Amino acid sequence: MDKSLIAYRLKQLRGDMDRDFVAKSLGVSVSALQMYETEQRIPRDDIKVQIAEFYNVSVQDIFFNIIEHNKCPGTSEEVIS
């Protein structure tokens, strides 16, 4: 897990929403949410699920890197770059 990427994604998802509102909706403290958004902590698995449900995205999309694949020229085979 890449803490900086997770923090970036969480800040992007929260957008203009008030941090207090989001923290309360998730059942976490404002300081915990702030630590997630500033690369200081990674949430527990149960909190990851709550965050994903709140923002209506998958846990995978927020917390795990997705490896970009390129297609081999002239084929349908994928190669990890």
Q: Is the pLDDT of residue 73 over 50?
A: yes
Residue 81 lies in a domain: no
74 confidence band (pLDDT: 50, 70, 90): low
CB 28 within 8 A of CB 70: no
Q: Is 35 exposed, middle or buried (0-12, 13-18, 19+ CB in 10 A)?
A: middle
Residue 57 lies in a domain: yes
Domain of residue 58: give its range.
3-70
DSSP classification of residue 15: T
Count up the domains in the chain and report the number.
1
The angle at the Cα of 50, spanning 11 to 68, to the nearest 5 degrees, equals 55
Question: Is-above-0.75 flag for pTM?
Answer: yes
DSSP classification of residue 76: S
pLDDT, tens digit, for every residue of 41-54? 999 999 999 999 99
pLDDT, tens digit, for every residue of 6-40? 999 999 999 999 999 999 999 999 999 999 999 99
